[in-house]
Structure 1
Amino acid sequence: MSITQQYLLDAYRARSLGEPAPPAPGTHDRQVVREWRDQRRFRAVLAGRPVRHRLRDALSRWQRRPT
């Protein structure tokens, strides 16, 4: 069963029982990724490691590259 089929089944079941519908798949993906990133940064600080901004660092290296 796919995620969409499971969601439709859960929504139908919730509607027939008079409960609120579950959130659609992918609704909270950005929030989950943001919280995961924040947790990684927090753990790095607690461990005494520098917090890395991998994407920003890679883009700045690419931008400074001689042509």
Structure 2
Amino acid sequence: MNALHQYVFDAYRAARLGEPTPPEPGTHDLAVLRAVRDRRRFARVVAGRPARGTVRAALHRWLHPAG
């Protein structure tokens, strides 16, 4: 059973019991990704590392080696 099937079952059950329907699958995906990103940035700041630009800096070091 995938998430869509589970959603259909839950929506049917909620309608039969007069409860509000659950959110559709994927509704909060972006909010979860933003929360993960913010948590990782926070952890980097607490550890004393730069919170932004790490991927760009690594790519720059790789494309433009010193020497």
Matched AA of 1:9: F
- Report how many aligned residue pairs link the two structures: 61
- What one-letter code is carried by the residue in structure 1 that aligns with 2:27? T
Partner residue in 2 for 1:39:
39
Structure 2 gaps, min length 5: none
Residue in 2 that maps onto 1:11: 11
Runs (5+) with no aligned partner, structure 1: none
Q: CA RMSD in A?
A: 2.1
Structure 1 residue 28 displacement after superposition: 0.7
Runs of 4+ aligned structure 1 residues displaced above 2 Å come to: 52-55
- Inter-partner Cα distance in structure 2 for 1:54 and 1:48: 13
Counterpart CA distance in 2 for 1:16 and 1:39 is: 39
Counterpart of 2:49 in structure 1 is 49
- TM-score, length of structure 2 as denominator length: 0.77
SS in 2 for 1:7: helix
Q: Percent identity?
A: 55
